């Protein structure tokens, strides 16, 4: 069974206010994209990659792709469109029940142990799974004036991270259905949920941050340093067994 990887990297990252998309900013001397691909390759060296890039991308360097089998795919207007195009590109080769892992190019710090845990979870999984981290802060709902309307109960709230892994045909159907409704789909799991299915939450570390704002690059650099020293800064959350209980 082939393991497919889709890495959406076609965003323009305007929130970074930088001279280039965030996946091409330098993180400890290499691009964010290169670091992300390096992590994925360490965990899944045999996977086949589809890399979704802006057709007008002038920063991409194919030498930064460590996978033996990979293809560049034109991204779309939104992240979900990019992922959908990635899926289309493997339609000729993928079996319906092959696993497809989708991981944001902007998450270079995903711990190897989390990638391994996700993959192990798929061994006895029918629907699919995603890395996620329990919400740690008290959650406020804002009103239209920017004041607190009320406090949301935090119990059972999770931050959805990536990778997210689903069977090829199910994910294709789910994204098609979701995109057809015009709903804003910011991750694969929400498309699956809209089909009435319940993806499995796999506890992941909060240091799997998505680089979004300028200050995130310095944070990512600190996380990489701590990871090299073997320190998990966010290992304060329950085990998988506790989640399943």
In contact, 79 and 103? CB cutoff 8 Å: no
Query: Using the rule CB under 6 A, is 5 a contact of ligand C5P?
Result: no
Burial of 22 (0-12, 13-18, 19+ CB in 10 A): buried
Stretch that binds ligand C5P, among 8-16, 143-151, 168-176, 229-237 (CB under 6 A): 8-16
- Please report, to the nearest 10 degrees, the dihedral formed by the alpha carbons of residues 24, 25, 28, 31 taken in order: 0
Longest dimension (CA), the chain: 52
Output 14 or 239, the one with its CB closest to ligand C5P. 14
Where does the chain show beta strands of DSSP type E? 4-9, 26-27, 30-31, 48-53, 70-74, 99-102, 128-134, 139-142, 148-152, 158-167, 200-203
Give the SS3 label for residue 173.
helix
Q: Which of 37, 67, 89, 104 binds ligand C5P (CB under 6 A)?
A: 104
Sign of CA dihedral 185, 105, 87, 114: negative
Output 85 or 119, the one with its CB closest to ligand C5P. 85
Query: Using the rule CB under 6 A, is 23 a contact of ligand C5P?
Result: yes
Residues 204-233: x where in contact with ligand C5P by CB under 6 A, - otherwise, as a string: ------x-x---------------------
Output 104 or 188, the one with its CB closest to ligand C5P. 104
Output 181 or 212, the one with its CB closest to ligand C5P. 212
In contact, 202 and 121? CB cutoff 8 Å: yes
Residue 26: partners with Cβ closer than 8 Å, 6 or more residues away = 32
> Min. distance of Cβ 105 from ligand C5P in angstroms?
4
Q: Which of 38, 64, 74, 78 binds ligand C5P (CB under 6 A)?
A: 78
Output 51 or 174, the one with its CB closest to ligand C5P. 51
Stretch that binds ligand C5P, among 103-111, 129-137, 149-157, 170-178 (CB under 6 A): 103-111
Q: Which of 1, 62, 69, 77 binds ligand C5P (CB under 6 A)?
A: 77
First and final C-alpha spacing in the chain: 30
Output 18 or 231, the one with its CB closest to ligand C5P. 18
Which residue ranges make up the site for ligand C5P (CB under 6 A)? 8-11, 23, 52, 75-79, 82, 104-106, 210, 212
């Amino acid at each position: 069974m082939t393991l497919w990887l889709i890495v959406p990297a076609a965003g323009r990252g305007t929130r970074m206010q930088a001279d280039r998309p965030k996946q091409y900013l330098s993180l400890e001397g290499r691009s964010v994209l290169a670091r992300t691909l390096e992590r994925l390759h360490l965990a899944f060296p045999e996977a086949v990659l589809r890399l979704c890039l802006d057709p007008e991308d002038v920063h991409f360097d194919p030498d930064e792709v460590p996978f033996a089998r990979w293809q560049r795919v034109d991204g779309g207007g939104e992240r979900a469109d990019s992922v959908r195009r990635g899926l289309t590109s493997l339609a000729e080769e993928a079996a319906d029940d092959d696993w497809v892992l989708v991981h944001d190019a902007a998450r270079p710090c995903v711990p190897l142990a989390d990638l391994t845990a996700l993959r192990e979870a798929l061994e006895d999984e029918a629907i699919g799974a995603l890395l996620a981290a329990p919400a740690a802060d008290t959650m406020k709902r804002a009103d239209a004036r920017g004041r607190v309307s009320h406090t949301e109960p935090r119990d059972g709230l999770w931050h959805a991270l990536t990778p997210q892994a689903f069977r090829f045909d199910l994910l294709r159907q789910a994204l098609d259905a979701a995109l057809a409704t015009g709903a804003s789909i910011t991750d694969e799991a929400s498309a699956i949920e809209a089909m009435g299915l319940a993806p499995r939450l796999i506890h992941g570390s909060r240091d799997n941050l998505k680089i979004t704002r300028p200050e995130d690059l310095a944070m990512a650099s600190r996380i990489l340093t701590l990871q090299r020293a073997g320190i998990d800064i966010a290992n304060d959350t329950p085990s998988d067994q506790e989640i399943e209980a």
